[in-house]
Structures are given as structure tokens and as C-alpha cells.
Structure 1
Amino acid sequence: MDAPDEVVLFDMDGVLVDSEDYWHEFEDEFVFADAVASGDPAHEEVTGMHFREIYDYLDETYGTAVTKEEFVDAYHERSETLYGEQVVLMEGAEELFDDLRDDGRRLAIVSSAPQSWISIVRDRFDLGHLELVLSAEDIDAAGKPEPHIYEHAAAELGVEPEECVVVEDSVNGIESAVRSGAFTVAYRRAHNRELDLSQAHVVAEGPEELREALFG
């Protein structure tokens, strides 16, 4: 199955930047240790979800020991150093973006992260012009793993989801993209090496395979 050649939608966390390991540390140190009332959640249960919806999920499934306001404030505080100082850009991202643009493709970021977090990454790494930057907070619908954010992104760009390629790394994100109808590439990195990503149309094991999947 060949990838469409219209629009490429990139998830941010775990794809464009290596933020997931840092968020997993935060989950171990605060979310699962102090914010969850009981039980032992796994990282893959919440990875890819918007952090407000993470709270709702944990509250319903395990119970919570902090207020939602405290939970949200902790995420925002952590985000400043995480994106501003710690993360690095995906290997070969600048060249990949340039080559996709030269090939006539339109590029977008579609993320569960708030626009303020995405802006830190865009400013720090100078990702250039993007046709769309969409946050889960920009839509009035449930976030990943529901398909709405990718359906909305396609509509904003004037195409059908089937004309889009999505690059995702999390189980929740892959499910969201596949359910929308988009051609979905799972990007395998260290943080998700043990996860079953087979729901995606293609699994790219590193930057070279990602390039092959996008250019066919």
C-alpha cells in the first residue's frame, strides 16, 4: 500500500522530539506515584493523550489523589524545561522537511500538546513554514485515541483523511490516525520499542525507514 502524496501530518511528542522518555520519568515521579490513588498504570495507557484527558482517565480507572488543577499545573511547569532545554529534534528532521516540501508535500503538526508547548519546539528548532499546527485543545471533541483530531486536520487542509499520511509513535495516536482513515506510519524509537505498533499501515524502524515510507 503506497502512501498518499498530498499532506504529511506529524505528531510532536515521540516523533519530532524525544520527549516521551522525559514524560515517562515525570509520570513515574509524580503522576503514578503521587497523583494516582491506587493501582499500577502503564505508560502506554496514557501516552499520546491530552494531559487533561489523562487526568480524567486516571480518575475514572484508578482514582486520583490530587485535584485536576494541581495535575494540570504540574504538567505545565514540567513542560517549560522539558521542551525548552531537554528534548532534541528527530534525527534528520530538517532535511526530511526540506525534501518533503521540495516534493510538493504540505506539512503539519497535529499534537495532543497545547499550542504553547508546540510553540516552544517550533521556536527552538526553527521548523519552518507549516500549513497547519493543530492542538487537541483547538477542537471541541475528544482527543486521541478518538479520530477527531486527524479528521479535523484534514478538513482544515481541505482534503480527506485518506489523502493524508500521519506519523505517530504511541498506541493511542496510531489508533486515532487509523480510525480517521489516514495512511498511518508508526515511528519506532527507543521509548516504544516494546509496544505493538502493528495497527499502523507501516512501521518505520528509524529515520531511514521513515524516509522510505514517506517517499515510497
Structure 2
Amino acid sequence: MRLQGAIFDMDGTLLDSMQAWGALGSSFLRRQGKEPGEDLDRILWTMSFREGAAYCAERYGLGMDPEEVMRLMRTEIADFYRFRVVPKPGVERMLALLKMEGVWMYVATATDHPLADIAMDHAGLMKYFRGMVTCGDAGRKKDDPKVYEMALRRLRCKKEDTVVFEDALFALRTAKAAGFRTAAVYDPSEQDQDAMKAEADYYIRSFEDWTEIG
């Protein structure tokens, strides 16, 4: 069965960016003159962006509302995307091969459009894709398959001939439960790699070693 369509997550899958997100809370607080707790980043990892901003504002007495904290954090991550983010090793070669083979590709990301646009522009990868859809567009997080279904409709590909590439186990499970073929992409931010290998149709340790999905 040949691959007709491919839907890619962005952070941790296409881009080497999860470390920046994981350290965002601590980095932000230090810029505000506050020393973060040792467990801060672990706590924030389980929260939404808004929940994390509210937690930081209250826990560290920042004297600003969550909206202001979110604005400043977005500025910080935007700077990372605009100047420092890079594709994961081997990604551009792999995308070029897929495009050459006629595979239609879409980005499906939880990151807001303005930030995702900055990141993909700096990384130089958007030229390989037919478009991008975000969880904000879908109105759902990635524990719901709506963002993948939106990307599939825009690609106009058959679901059984489309692979979703994800680095997070919960998102991989969402896509798989919705009937997509799935490719697990290794990123150190996901600790349960055994489950990724067991549940995905394909496992990619590194795009540098990638050969073919057919």
C-alpha cells in the first residue's frame, strides 16, 4: 500500500523544540527575577498554557494577571522560534523525498497559528506542505481527533492511505483510535518509548535513519 497523505505534528516531530517549551516556565520566571522551584517544569507540563500562566502568577506573586503572563511567555517562545529553532536531524531530506514521491502533506499542531507560522518559516519547512491546521482551528486538543480529521479533509486523501506522525503517546493514540495509520517519532520529551513502539504502525528513532513508509 503506497503512502498517499501524511499529517505531521510540529513540535518534537518536525522541529527540535520541546526542550524550549519544557523549560519555558523556569526561563520566564528567571527573567522576572524569581527563582523557580525544582519541580516547576514538571508541574507545568501537565497544564494547559493558560493554567500554567495562572499557576505562575499566583504561586510566585508576579503581580500580573494570567493574560499578561501568557503574553510575555508567547514573546519568549516566539523569539526562540524566530531565531533559534531548527528542524530535527534528517527531517528536510525526508520531506523532500516524500514530496518527490507525490505524497501530499499537512501540519497538525497544538501551537497557535502565529507562533507556528514563525517557527515553520524560520525552519524553512512550509514549502513541503499544502497547509497547516491547529488545535485552535479545530477547537479541540489532541485528545480529540478533530485536528487530524480537518487536515485529512483538506488533503482529500483516504484515511487508510494517510499516516499521522507524532512524538507524543497520547496524541498517537488519538490518531490511531480514529483509524489513521501512525508513525511514532522519537523525542526525549516522551518517556514511554516502549508504548510508542508497541502501539504505532511505524517507529522512527531518527529521520536520518528513515527509509520508507509504504
**How far apart, CA to CA, are the structure 2 residues paired with 1:64 and 1:144?**
26
Deviation at 1:132, TM superposition (A): 1.9
Q: Which residue of 1 aligns with 2:43?
A: 41
Q: Which residue of 1 aligns with 2:123?
A: 125
Q: Which residue of 2 aligns with 1:135?
A: 134
Q: Percent identity?
A: 21
Deviation string 1:179-203 (CA, Å, 9 cap, x unpaired) is: 3221111111333355542432222
**How far apart, CA to CA, are the structure 2 residues paired with 1:193 and 1:208?**
21
The alpha-carbon distance between structure 1 residues 157 and 166, as it changes in their structure 2 partners (threshold 3 A), is: same
Tell me, yes or no, if structure 1 residue 72 matches structure 2 residue 70: yes
**Structure 1 unaligned runs (5+)?**
47-52
The alpha-carbon distance between structure 1 residues 137 and 42, as it changes in their structure 2 partners (threshold 3 A), is: closer
**How far apart, CA to CA, are the structure 2 residues paired with 1:67 and 1:145?**
28
TM-score (structure 2 length as normaliser): 0.77
**For the Cα contact (< 8 Å) 2:8–2:106, is it kept in 1?**
yes
Deviation string 1:63-107 (CA, Å, 9 cap, x unpaired) is: 973744134213311222211122211212222111101111011
Q: Which residue of 2 aligns with 1:81?
A: 79
Amino acid of the residue matched to residue 215 of structure 1?
Answer: I
**How far apart, CA to CA, are the structure 2 residues paired with 1:55 and 1:28?**
16
**How far apart, CA to CA, are the structure 1 residues paired with 2:163 and 2:73?**
29
Q: 2:50 aligns with which of 30, 51, 55?
A: 55
Q: Which residue of 2 aligns with 1:50?
A: none
Count of equivalent residues: 199
Task: Look at both structures and tell me which one has the larger radius of gyration over its CA atoms.
Answer: 2
Q: Which residue of 1 aligns with 2:178?
A: 180
The alpha-carbon distance between structure 1 residues 114 and 14, as it changes in their structure 2 partners (threshold 3 A), is: same
**Structure 2 unaligned runs (5+)?**
30-35, 59-63
Q: Which residue of 1 aligns with 2:207?
A: 207
**Structure 2 counterpart SS, 1:108:** strand
TM-score (structure 1 length as normaliser): 0.77
Deviation at 1:170, TM superposition (A): 1.3
Root-mean-square deviation over aligned CA pairs: 3.1
Q: Which residue of 2 aligns with 1:18?
A: 16
The alpha-carbon distance between structure 1 residues 81 and 156, as it changes in their structure 2 partners (threshold 3 A), is: same
Tell me, yes or no, if structure 1 residue 9 matches structure 2 residue 34: no
**Structure 2 counterpart SS, 1:109:** strand
The alpha-carbon distance between structure 1 residues 183 and 28, as it changes in their structure 2 partners (threshold 3 A), is: farther
**For the Cα contact (< 8 Å) 2:53–2:69, is it kept in 1?**
no
The alpha-carbon distance between structure 1 residues 23 and 181, as it changes in their structure 2 partners (threshold 3 A), is: same
**Structure 2 counterpart SS, 1:191:** coil
